[in-house]
A = this chain, B = another copy of it.
Amino acid sequence: MSRYLSKRLEDLEEYVPGEQPRDKKYIKLNTNESPFPPSPAVYEVLSRSAADNLRLYSDPCCTSLTETLCGVYGLKPENVVFGNGSDEILSFAFTAFCDSDTPAVFADITYGFYKVFAALNCIPFRQIPLKSDFSICPEDYINAGGTIFIANPNAPTGLILTESEIRRILEGNPDNVVVIDEAYIDFGGQSMLPLIGEYKNLLIVQTFSKSRSLAGARLGFAAGCPELIADLQKIRNSNNPYNINRLTQALGEAVLKDNEYFIKCTSEIIKNRTYMTDGLKSLGFSVIPSSANFVFAKHEAYDGGMLYRALKNKGVLVRHFDAPRISQYNRITVGSKAEADALLKAADEILRM
């Protein structure tokens, strides 16, 4: 830290992303990426003429990408704003809708970045404990007195709220924004996108990093009523109006247009999730029912942190959170069937030792 850093940020604890190791080749089941490449349509995007046009700024309005997204989801351009990954959109939402009078409110066990965004923006936050089965109790969120952030499905648990539960939370907080972070919604969950016309306080955030195999291209979006989106556009334009580069805009458009491939990949993940869950259970793991592209699992006979390290030794990378209530669990990305087999084989060997 330099002596010039603003005092208000001295204690800021930054987010620690999942390991991106460079030491050796792992079966990488730790950051919820897709095992499948993006739609083959992206090859056409990365053309010679695309490269030549890189000398020109990208469209700050993402006009063409917006039109395509709106076509897919039945939205209007004024319902949508894009971010450099959904993290940037979440960061904008913390800046826009929270302040010293409006704390952020989220679960004690959820996406670890919410806490960091609050700290960066010097915003107070309140954590609401999950129930003992790790589910969210909607009643705990009525009149929450702040801007609510709910990952749905939740991470790292994989549990999902129903539409009626989310409606109850929206209706129980008319004076506050409720952000539903649908990063993992495409793996069998029900998106709340159809509700944005009904609720002025509903903001939905999605990402292209998981179900659309574009983690490396960085693209996310928020959808909501025009007023909420105008607020986020204001933050975006005051921060980085050219936040989405040319290639990512084109890549996003290409994958949105290939719905068949999208369905094929997400269906495959759902199938592999069942396969991996069954396999883990047969090895004696408790596995929380997941609606995401990962499962959260523990084994009574083996410490969570030790299992993480033993798997890493065997070349399988999963994510362990050394945090209260969940230190016995590991979050395991659902990859290909071959990756699931490698994980199950490694876990079996470890448990037999």
Contacts and interface: CB of A to CB of B under 8 A. Distances in A.
Nearest to A84: B84
B217 A54 contact: yes
B239 A91 contact: yes
Contacts of A2: 200, 225, 227-228, 230-231
A329 interface: no
Interface of A: 1-9, 12-17, 20, 22, 28, 31, 33-38, 42-43, 46-48, 50-61, 63, 84-85, 87-88, 91, 95-99, 101-102, 116-117, 119-120, 147, 176-177, 200-201, 209, 213-218, 225, 227-228, 230-231, 233-235, 237-243, 245-248, 251
A6 B216 contact: no
15 contacts: A1-B231, A2-B230, A5-B96, A5-B97, A7-B101, A15-B237, A17-B60, A33-B55, A38-B51, A54-B217, A54-B251, A58-B215, A116-B238, A215-B242, A245-B247
A215 B43 contact: no
Contacts of A28: 56
A85 B240 contact: yes
Contacts of A52: 37-38
A218 B53 CA distance: 13
A213 B55 contact: yes
Given A4-B228, A51-B46, A96-B9, A120 B238 contact: yes
Given A4-B97, A85-B242, A209 B57 contact: yes
A237 B218 CA distance: 15
B102 A216 contact: no
A27 to B, nearest CB: 13
Contacts of A35: 55
Contacts of A88: 239-240, 243
Contacts of A5: 96-97, 231, 234
B177 A4 contact: yes
